[in-house]
Amino acid sequence: WKTTTFTGALRLTGMTAPFVYDGAMNGNVFVAGLLRRTLQIASTRLSQNQERNMQTSLKARQLLERYP
């Protein structure tokens, strides 16, 4: 017996932001799924004078390493 969790957003244009995890959904998995997408967007939009956002992104990345 094995549990696999699949989440995503269903839009009129189709499925977006798919996330698959080996195991059951819990708070850490949910946050990691959200942060993974957020970090991809944030890394393309950060400018040099957004130092605080960069620090937040780095902390979030450390969280993702802990809860892949």
- Angle, CA of 36, 42 and 35, to the nearest 5°: 20
pLDDT at site 29 = 75
Rounded Cα distance, 35 and 29, in Å: 10
Question: Which tens digit of pLDDT belongs to each residue from 4-19?
Answer: 888 888 889 988 878 8
pLDDT at site 40 = 54
